[in-house]
Structure 1
Amino acid sequence: MTISIPYGRSWMTMTSPLYDRYLRAQKRRQRLIWLARLALLAGFLLLWEFAARWKWVDSMLTSKPSQLWTSFRELAMEGSLFHHLWITGQETLVGIAVSMAIGSLAAVLFWWSTFASKVLDPYMVVLNALPKVALGPIFFIWLGDHYSVYGMAVAISVIVTIIMIESGFKEISRTKLKLMESFGATKLQMLGMVLLPASVPHLIATLKVNVGLTLVGVIMGEFLSSKAGLGYLIIYGGQVFQMNLVMVSIALLALLSVALYGLVNLLERYARKKYHHEA
């Protein structure tokens, strides 16, 4: 428990011993969680390494961590690896931005006009169920080998974005909206003063889902048509039977995913602090 008491012209904050013990226990628990995560990763890498060394698995097919590090260092010295990583990262960021923009505008349109929502809802369901990989050849013909990657990324993530943001809008308390309407507020005022600020947690949750979906779309697009990027490296490594190249590319994809989720988490913390400060 935190207590603030007057001290001269300022305030002095005191905490109870029980609350201090609770905070220390939470910090110990958080450190234990991180240690368990690192131990799990280290155990997996060690098991993989020794399984390849002791011939439990064929290292030509599965590679091993020591070979991955050697391959990573060689490719990094050449400079091509970070070029492909940059291409995939750039395509993913653009895909996320475009998907969130289109999805947010469409969700606002559906909230603004219930008629449009009811008319287009069946099409949203069909497009969401449609296997997006089938659109790859169409995007390649329409957009070319470079922009088709962006088309695939947006196609995979935008429908889910629309559905999630629209669902978030529907969960907003109708009482607040009715109260503003009774005071003569327009829909634009209700949108800017109530709906969008209250939907920030839903937007962050949608962004988290969007990171994974967009990255999947980018890799699928690179599989089909790209001449650069981590997806291209994976296909190329499989064709020439260089499993080290495939595994290094997959490891970089994992690191890219962690970095993107980290950025979203930072954005979420900033949004929470700003929300609580304004509240």
Structure 2
Amino acid sequence: MRISKTSKGYADYLKEMRNDKIKIFIAQILLLIGIIVLWEALADFKVINTFLFSKPSAIYDLFIQYATSGQLFKHIYVSVYETVLGLVIGTGLGILVAIALWASERLSKILDPFLVVLNALPKTALAPIIIVWVGAGIKGIVVTAIAISIVVTILSAYNYFINVDEDKVKMLRSFGATKTQILFKLILPANIGNLINLTKINIGMAWVGVIVGEFLVSRYGIGYLIVYGSQVFKLDLVMMGVFVLAVCAWVMYEIVNIIEIIYKKNR
């Protein structure tokens, strides 16, 4: 039975969904607060070694110090810039290659074993080679981020495209639709949600590539802060870098999430 969007039942359903989201959000906040309080208590009572694990209050003090001096925002800007570049280029190129594979069955058969092998390779282990080939600095770091995300994007997007309802494809062909028309009228519109979810996955992959690249060659960025902190045995700095990294990744994820919500509302 279909519920009308103007009915009381539908309004109650939306209200229930909103209440569930609020409850889940509150539970998440309480869990986070509980972890922070427990961590601080264990550190204060010497249950855990603060040299190895630090503690929230020390991390907060260091965060304020770096934020006040302006150093932190410079590192964040560099890392976010590199990640956004890697995300956009990697996802965009991956989708374009997937479209080419969908358009040419012969090409997809030729490239399939190569893509499988490339996907199996540990891209983070190849990061030093990539940086030697491309060069140090932002260029090498961005290419590392692209290398980590592009193959997964190609394979995932291609599978989305070929799994669109075959009956709908045949119907469009029966009306004389070209491959380009099928692509823009059916394949891409049917997979907008999937491509948005793929972008969410690529956010994490792009961050991995950027952090690995910054570990190796950068003098700025969140990855540089983390590796510098570990080198001088300043675990407060390492934990602060991890915390800032988590917040930046979460903000990027939420931006894509908002885009997805807007898309679903306008469907």
Which TM-score bucket, shorter chain as reference? over 0.9
Taking structure 1 as the reference length, what is the TM-score of the superposition? 0.90
Unaligned segments of structure 2, at least 5 residues: none
Matched letter for residue 247 of structure 1: M
TM-score normalised by structure 2 residue count = 0.94
- The residue aligned with 1:40 is 31
Q: Give the Cα–Cα distance (whole angstroms) in 2 for the partners of residues 59 and 190 of structure 1.
A: 60
Q: Which structure exhibits the higher relative contact order, with contacts defined as CA atoms closer than 8 Å and separated by 6 or more residues?
A: 2
What residue identity is the alignment partner of 2:159? Answer: S
Partner of 1:238: 230
Which residue of 203, 219, 236 corresponds with 1:211? 203
CA distance in 1, matches of 2:247, 2:77: 13
- Distance across 1 between alignment mates of 2:152 and 2:65: 40
**How far apart are residue 28 of structure 1 and its match?**
3.4
Which structure: larger Rg?
1
Please show how residues 33-182 of structure 1 align to structure 2 within 5 Å. Answer: 33-146=24-137, 147-182=139-174
| Residues 28 and 195 of structure 1, relative CA distance in 2, 3 Å threshold | closer
Query: What is aligned with 1:247?
Result: 239
User: 1:220 Cα shift?
Assistant: 0.9
Q: CA deviation at 1:83?
A: 0.5
Provide the rounded CA distance (Å) in 1 between the counterparts of 2:201 and 2:223.
20
Shift of 1:30: 2.7
Distance 1:142 1:184 in 2: 47
CA contact (8 A) 2:203 2:253 kept: yes
Once superposed, what is the RMSD of the aligned Cα atoms? Answer: 1.8
Q: Which residue of 2 aligns with 1:7?
A: none
Using the alignment, how far apart are the partners of 1:22 and 1:93 within structure 2? 37
Higher strand fraction (1 or 2): 1
Identity %: 40
8 Å contact from structure 1 (residues 164, 202) kept in 2: no
Matches within 5 A, 1:264-275: 264-274=256-266
Q: Which runs of 5+ in 1 are unaligned?
A: 5-12
The 2-side partners of 1:144 and 1:267 are apart by 34
Match of 2:178 in 1: 186
Report if aligned partners of 2:130, 2:144 keep a CA contact under 8 Å in 1: yes
Residue 80 of structure 2 contacts residue 248 of structure 2 at CA under 8 Å; is this kept in 1?
yes
SS in 2 for 1:191: helix
Alpha-carbon distance, 1:152 to partner: 0.9
CA distance in 1, matches of 2:203, 2:11: 37
Which of 99-108 and 28-37 deviates more? 28-37
Tell me how far 1:246 sits from its aligned partner. Answer: 0.6
Cα distance in structure 1, aligned partners of 2:91 and 2:13 = 39
Summarize deviations over 1:192-232 as a string: whole Å, max 9, x none.
11111111111111111111111111111111111111001
2:131 and 2:144 in contact (8 A); partners too? no
Query: Structure 1 residues 166, 20: closer, same or farther in 2, change over 3 A?
Result: closer
